[in-house]
Amino acid sequence: MNIQIASPADTTAIADMAVAFRNHLQRSTPTQAQFEDSISRLLAAPDAQFYIATNDGAPIGYVLQRFRYSMWACGTEASIEDLFVDPSARKMGVGKALIEFALRAASTHGCSSVCLDTNENNAGSTAIYTQLGFSAMSARWNGRQIFFRKSLLQ
């Protein structure tokens, strides 16, 4: 297995995996073309990086990580926005290796922390995150962190 920072040449491979992720979630949007556009924009953005895992040159997983300055941390923090591993490569350490790669990249970027959210029923991801030291408990806020979202679309 090889993991590296994705380049524009990886756009279609990442989009194909994003479509597989979308299908797994039983959704019909975004479309392949919308994913390719979004991925192209993110690959060009200075505050985002995709990491792609391959096995014998075939893509088997990806992570999208974002970077932002936080006034509460007085420094840069990273957030993992997406983790996907192809079903054929699950339970082989790919997800864990991708997250470890993202953690090293965040450290290289001088980040003070890495955050993420996942569905509470996603046992595989939850196990990886817990094993790597992620927690819903926050020393910064002295309690449990809960991620909320509100759609502004009608």
- Kindly report, residue by residue over 125-152, the tens digit of the pLDDT: 899 999 999 988 777 777 877 777 766 6
Q: What is the mean pLDDT of residues 2-14?
A: 98
* SS3 assignment, position 5: strand
Q: What is the pLDDT of residue 32?
A: 97
Which domain CATH number covers 21? 3.40.630.30
Q: What is the mean pLDDT of residues 27-44?
A: 97
Q: What is the pLDDT of residue 150?
A: 66
The residue segments making up the domain with residue 61 are: 2-144
In-domain check, residue 33: yes
In-domain check, residue 61: yes
In-domain check, residue 26: yes
In-domain check, residue 18: yes
Name the average pLDDT for the chain: 93
13 CB neighbour count, 10 Å cutoff: 18
pLDDT tens digits, 92-128: 999 999 999 999 999 999 999 999 988 888 888 899 9
Percent of the chain with pLDDT over 70: 97
The residues with which 5 forms a beta bridge, in sequence order, are 51
Q: What is the pLDDT of residue 144?
A: 79
Q: Place 85 in a pLDDT band, splitting at 50, 70 and 90.
A: very high
In-domain check, residue 151: no
What is d(CA 152, CA 150) in angstroms, rounded to the nearest whole number? 6
Q: What is the pLDDT of residue 105?
A: 97
What is d(CA 138, CA 61) in angstroms, rounded to the nearest whole number? 29
Residue 111 is classified by DSSP as: -
Looking at 25-34, 55-64, 112-121, 131-140, which range is the least confident one?
131-140
How many domains does one find in the chain?
A: 1
Cis, peptide link before residue 46, omega less than 30° from 0: no
3-state secondary structure 45-100: CCCEEEEEEEECCEEEEEEEEEEEEECCCCEEEEEEEEEEECHHHCCCCHHHHHHH
Q: What is the pLDDT of residue 141?
A: 75
Tell me the pTM: 0.91
In-domain check, residue 23: yes
Q: What is the mean pLDDT of residues 7-14?
A: 98
